[in-house]
Chains A and B, each alone.
Chain A
Amino acid sequence: MHELAICQEIIIQVNDIAFENQAVSIESITLQVGPLSGVEAPLLKQAFPFAAAETVAEHAVLIIEELPVIVECKQCGFHSTVSVNKLICTQCGDYHTRLVSGDEMLLASVELNREHQDREHQDRENQVDKNKLTEANYV
């Protein structure tokens, strides 16, 4: 299976996004996967920690939204929610359909943590307070 390779691609992409947005870490990553993409959500979840180790996404939660298989009939225009091996119109039974949902494999969104500047600022203030405290003790 190639789920690990997909996870490595996810890490490359989210790493770029984190860098562009000056984020320190990634809180969550949301994917959208259709059953006809050929990728299995449980296997992605298993592979993800191996790809994410020691990266900006190390502690990120991987959220996978599984999308339904929907076909549009080219004859009657009806939209049917169908199973992966029966992509036919449920209204008129014709097999001339187009897939409108179900083969996606997308990085949908990323939640970034950009709080490092605030935290550094806070840390510096804490340090100042501590120094003051130390000085006070000496007086």
Chain B
Amino acid sequence: MCDTCGCNVTSGNQHLIKPGGKLSLANNGATSISVLKNLMSENDHVAVHNREHFDKNNVLAINLMSSPGSGKTALLETTIQQLKEQFRIAVIEGDLETENDAERIRQQGVPAIQITTGSACHLDAHMVHDAVHNLSLKDLDIVFIENVGNLVCPASFDLGQHLNVTLLSVTEGDDKPSKYPVMFRAADLMLLTKTDLLAVLDDFDTSKAEHNLRQLASDAPVIELSSRNGDGLMQWVDWLKQQVALQQDRVINGESLKPAIQKEGAQLHFESSNNSLIQNHSHP
């Protein structure tokens, strides 16, 4: 977001920049200043920097988000087995404590950087920036960022990734997208994991899960897979190969990609500042 092009201007705040100027006197004599600055600007600034690093080195960065225990690390293990001959992969692991996940990834023969966040429930762009500087990006094609298992906070932080992949395991309930709209709205791809368990679960309907995702105005593809028995894995691997190719095309054309939720955000906010409907919103 920036203050130059007006992309901070939304339906709710455009009154602040209307005639009357940027400075106006409040009733009590104090000076009132309108700001319109995104409160994530410090994080977002570093995220942009991270994305530049990835693009400069022709690396595709994918952020994996889900509840704890929905199979992010297991998915990465099988994915690396499938792709490590074809692509150079590294993983940035986020957990509150322990090096366990990074060790599991290293056993697959690829570099892994563990970020232990202590009590922080999400990764932010600064943490990823530090981790990225411990990786030799020029020798990589794909960096997976395995976020802290949490369906709330990670969705609010741009890390500099190109794509968000959100996992929903079939043991969790097909209404998760409705319960955690901020998270599932951020997904460029939703993976329904642990589908080998569907045989013994009569209360998870994959079509309902997809319906609940669509209710969030999301067109993200949905892939059902099991890291354990390999069902659906090729579809996921094909999606990844396609994304690597698209990233290489973007780099050649000097373009970049933000995750879906942020893609048209700036444009949209700018457009909405010209929207008459919004003027009905009341302001103090």
Contact = CB atoms under 8 A, between A and B. Distances in A.
Partners in one complex: yes
A109 B32 contact: yes
A36 B185 contact: yes
Contacts of B31: 21, 23, 111-114
Given A9-B40, A21-B33, A107-B39, A85 B216 contact: yes
A67 B11 contact: yes
A88 B217 contact: yes
Interface stretch (B47-55, B69-77, B151-159, B197-205): B151-159
Nearest to A6: B39
Interface residues of A, number: 51
A96 B219 contact: yes
B217 A109 contact: no
Given A38-B156, A38-B182, A67-B10, A98 B37 contact: no
A27 B217 contact: no
Given A111-B26, A112-B33, A12 B42 contact: yes
B84 to A, nearest CB: 34
B264 A109 contact: no
Contacts of B178: 85
A85 to B, nearest CB: 4
A111 B26 CA distance: 8
Instruction: Report the contact-size class of chain B (Cβ under 8 Å from the partner).
Output: 35 or more
Give chain A's interface secondary structure class: mixed
Interface of B: 8, 10-13, 16, 26, 28-42, 120-122, 124, 152-153, 155-157, 177-179, 181-182, 185, 212, 214-219, 264-265, 268, 271-272, 275, 277-278, 281, 283-284
Per CB-CB distance, the 10 closest pairs between chain A and chain B, nearest first, are: A87-B217, A38-B156, A101-B11, A67-B12, A85-B178, A38-B182, A27-B30, A85-B181, A100-B272, A111-B30
Interface of A: 1-2, 5-6, 9-10, 12-13, 17, 21, 23, 27-28, 31-32, 34, 36-39, 65, 67-68, 70-71, 79, 84-88, 95-101, 103-115
24 contacts: A27-B28, A36-B182, A38-B182, A65-B284, A67-B11, A67-B281, A70-B277, A85-B178, A85-B215, A88-B215, A98-B264, A99-B217, A100-B11, A100-B272, A101-B11, A104-B13, A105-B156, A106-B10, A107-B35, A107-B38, A108-B16, A108-B36, A109-B35, A115-B29
